Structure 1
Amino acid sequence: MTLLAVAFFALMALGVPIAFAIGIAGFTFFATGEFIPMSIGVQQVASASQSFPLLAVPFFVLAGHMMNRTGITHRLIACSNVLVSWMAGGLAQVCIVLSTLMGGVSGSAVADAAMEARILGPGLIRAGYSRGFTCSVIAVGSLITATIPPSLGLILYGFVGNVSIGRLFLAGVIPGLLMMTGLMLTTWFIARRRGYRAGSVERPTAKAVWAAVVDAKWALLFPVALLVAIRGGLFTPSEVGAFAVVYAALVGFFLHRELTLGSVLEALTEAVTDTGLIMLIILFSGMVGYAIVFEQAPQSIAAALADLTREPVLVVALILIFLFLAGLFVESTVLVLLLTPIFLPIVAPLGVDPVHFGILMMTIVTLGSMTPPVGVAMYTVCSLLDCPVEEYIVESLPFVGTVLALVALLTLWPGLVLFLPNALM
């Protein structure tokens, strides 16, 4: 197990792609083991693909790419602008609300951050917002996508941990809305102190709000339709992914009439690329998962934690601290696939709900995409808006602090996470 870990981090340091770093490190475990034939490793790679719930991943990836070509994005921007642009720091508030609404469409924090950086970022900078503040609002705000359904991270967590994806989707709604509120308050305080003006002078009328909501209704109804379909037993989470693709096609072709065959082919091409990358990581992580179970890593870590404390809240807090530190260096998808089999068997016997733990885990590991030294969303936004990383780091501290405070709140009051799944399922 030690050799596997050393090989993985050495390959990462050499710049080997994550999927191959996991695969090569996993093969070292089987190649150097005396009692485990190499064929077992190959079987683990194959068996990792034999999962019906895993079908949800390519479907939701394709649906997200198609949604971005149906005219939904600019309708959501217009809706967000009407709702919150009158507040202090109005344009920045639009970014946060848009991340919440886009979370129900894209399912990817990095994709959401890149889109907002291209479309809204230049406008914020022209309006007098600093580059660091602009990048921080966009990058950290995209974290809301990690919990608002359909989150790809929650699908992977449910797949690896054998946790109900429907309950995870429902559980992510309230934390996502709380995160939106917290980040909006943080933006408001900073904007008031710096004198960042509102985007519009007057508050919107009820008529203007209703018109904007009606114009964006098909995007706003999408996550609601997913949750109703799962709760009503109409579809399994995998089948809901297929429904999402059909929904995107119907909206694009017949309702908005902005989707073309050419844009569908572009969406398919991008979806195949993204799915291929995700699936490579999933398949190769099957070997690592087997090694973790074979070496009894969960039991060893659980025993070490038990020596420190037996209080469930403290155990979860220690795990979240470790996940936060790990997220600074390793991509969130990898952490979910590799660490869920380790930590879920530790917290479940302590009475911690796997759904509650999944929301906490996804929030913390996805936060790593917005923090140095290897934050993908951070580098994407900073490069698109020509912002020094040093400036971003300083400006992002209040937003990261807000997210960590929310995670602490959700840890102490699991009812905030479990209210909807317990009430509806």
Structure 2
Amino acid sequence: MTGILIMIVGILIGALLLNIPIAFALALIGFVIVFIEGSVPLSFFIQSTFGASDSFSLLAIPFFILAGEIMSTGGIAKRLVDFIQSMVKSLTGGLGLVTILTSLIFAAISGSGAATVASVGGIMIPYMISKGYSKPYAAALAASSGSLGPIIPPSIIFILYGVMASVSIGDMFIAGIIPGLLMAMSLLLVNYFVSKKEKFEVQNNEVESKKSFWSALNEAKYGLLAPVIILGGIYGGIVTPTEAAVIAVVYSFLVSVIIYKELTISQLGEVFKKASLTSGTIMIFVSAASFFGQVLSMEQIPQQIATAISNITTNEIIILLLINVFLLLVGMFIETVAAVILFVPLLLPIVLPLGVDPVHFGIVVCMNLSLGLITPPLGINLFIASKVANIRFESTFKYVGIIFIAILSVLLIVTFVPEISTFLPELLSD
């Protein structure tokens, strides 16, 4: 096993250094192992990759991505910003609060961190800067608020985890509600204290709102109804997550085209292009990682790793701490989707014998990896927000460090108090 592990790590490191997509690196590793063993035909690659992508549950991913793109282009995100803005008025750090709460709502529609940053951050970062917020803080807060995307249901990585771990995607969605809200609360606290210390509330002692609360609520009502329809349909047992994703696309299209009239036929091509590129990238990850994972399973590597860790310690607390540290490091270098597909099959055999609930473990995994969205060198949310703010990526680190500690505190609480994740699924299953 040692020789194979060294080869796997070597190829992955080489791929990162050469900027080779992780999906291609995983497929290459699988081919090398198959070639060395010689007992598996190369046609196994076609069978495993096709089988992985031939999943009804995975169809939810491209539909949620498309719904997010339509809502971003069709004016729904902007109206959500106006609505939250009409409520906060003169609260300390008001514009930061708008950014966080709008991201929270938009995350409950799109399920994507990057989409949340691009949509909400694209509106709020320039506005925050114009009202006296520092560029690094505006970018750091928008990027961090976008990390709610993978945790607030519906979530793309929850869908992937559910497929990889063979657990209910609906249970994953329900389990993510309380941890997601706790993350949002930690961001609100950080925003309050940073805004007070940096005197952002003095430079912006009143959030300008061109519309009254009721007027803004009236215009945003269709956007606010979206998560109610999507999540209500899933939790009510009316539709599956995949069917809810289709409903989200149809609903967002009708609202954007017929009611708001901000999405034109000429824009649809670009919307579908963006959604297709994102969806295609994810499905390539899924197919390549499935092939890689099945090859590893044939070599008994996950089981051997689990045995090796169990020989070190059987203490559940220590093992969960080690896994948290490992996933935080993984999130710094490997894209979230790839990390879920790659490491869930390796880590589940370690924690299941300890009695860890697979739904609870899924929340822990996804929260760890969502932090990777704001940690260098990958930090895709930071890159997007920094580009919008027109600043250097590293200038945000001062504020990102504070936010990271706040979210990490929530992660540790969720890790060692499993009831935070399992309470709602158990309650609704009774």
Greater shift in the superposed pair: 87-96 or 34-43: 34-43
Give, in whole Å, the separation in 1 of the partners of 2:165 and 2:284: 19
- Displacement of 1:200 in angstroms is 5.2
TM-score, normalised with respect to structure 2: 0.93
Q: Does 1:334 pair with 2:319?
A: no
Give, in whole Å, the separation in 2 of the partners of 1:270 and 1:225: 24
Q: Name the counterpart of 1:415.
A: 419
Q: Name the counterpart of 2:154.
A: 150
Q: Does 1:180 pair with 2:191?
A: no
- Displacement of 1:403 in angstroms is 0.5
Contact 2:386-2:392 at 8 Å conserved across structures: yes
Q: What letter is aligned with 2:136?
A: G
- In structure 2, the CA distance between the partners of 1:203 and 1:348, relative to structure 1 (3 Å rule), is farther
- In structure 2, the CA distance between the partners of 1:27 and 1:86, relative to structure 1 (3 Å rule), is farther
- In structure 2, the CA distance between the partners of 1:114 and 1:69, relative to structure 1 (3 Å rule), is closer
Q: What letter is aligned with 1:298?
A: P
- Displacement of 1:211 in angstroms is 4.2
- In structure 2, the CA distance between the partners of 1:375 and 1:5, relative to structure 1 (3 Å rule), is same
Contact 1:30-1:41 at 8 Å conserved across structures: no
Question: What's the CA shift string for 1:52-108, capped at 9, x where partnerless?
Answer: 111111111111111223321111101121233522111112111111011012221
Counterpart mapping for 1:238-387 below 5 A: 238-387=242-391
Q: Does 1:46 pair with 2:50?
A: yes
Give, in whole Å, the separation in 2 of the partners of 1:99 and 1:228: 19
Contact 1:117-1:385 at 8 Å conserved across structures: no
Contact 1:27-1:287 at 8 Å conserved across structures: no
TM-score, normalised with respect to structure 1: 0.94
Give, in whole Å, the separation in 2 of the partners of 1:388 and 1:241: 36
Q: What letter is aligned with 2:341?
A: L
Give, in whole Å, the separation in 1 of the partners of 2:97 and 2:141: 8
Structure 1: which 5+ residue stretches go unaligned? Answer: none
Give, in whole Å, the separation in 2 of the partners of 1:334 and 1:424: 31
- In structure 2, the CA distance between the partners of 1:361 and 1:128, relative to structure 1 (3 Å rule), is same
Q: What letter is aligned with 1:49?
A: S
Identical aligned residues as a percent: 36
Question: What's the CA shift string for 1:112-165, capped at 9, x where partnerless?
Answer: 222334322122222222222111111111111111122111111111111111
Structure 2: which 5+ residue stretches go unaligned? Answer: none
Q: Name the counterpart of 1:63.
A: 67
- Displacement of 1:343 in angstroms is 1.1
- In structure 2, the CA distance between the partners of 1:388 and 1:252, relative to structure 1 (3 Å rule), is closer
Contact 2:331-2:339 at 8 Å conserved across structures: yes
Q: Name the counterpart of 1:215.
A: 219
Greater shift in the superposed pair: 33-42 or 55-64: 33-42
Contact 1:166-1:227 at 8 Å conserved across structures: no
Contact 1:88-1:197 at 8 Å conserved across structures: yes
- In structure 2, the CA distance between the partners of 1:390 and 1:202, relative to structure 1 (3 Å rule), is closer
Contact 1:59-1:241 at 8 Å conserved across structures: yes
- Displacement of 1:257 in angstroms is 3.2
Partner of 1:197, secondary structure, is helix
- Displacement of 1:387 in angstroms is 2.1
Q: CA RMSD, aligned part only?
A: 2.0
Report the number of matched residues. Answer: 423
Give, in whole Å, the separation in 1 of the partners of 2:171 and 2:280: 27
Q: Name the counterpart of 2:201.
A: 197
Contact 2:160-2:340 at 8 Å conserved across structures: yes
- In structure 2, the CA distance between the partners of 1:255 and 1:419, relative to structure 1 (3 Å rule), is farther
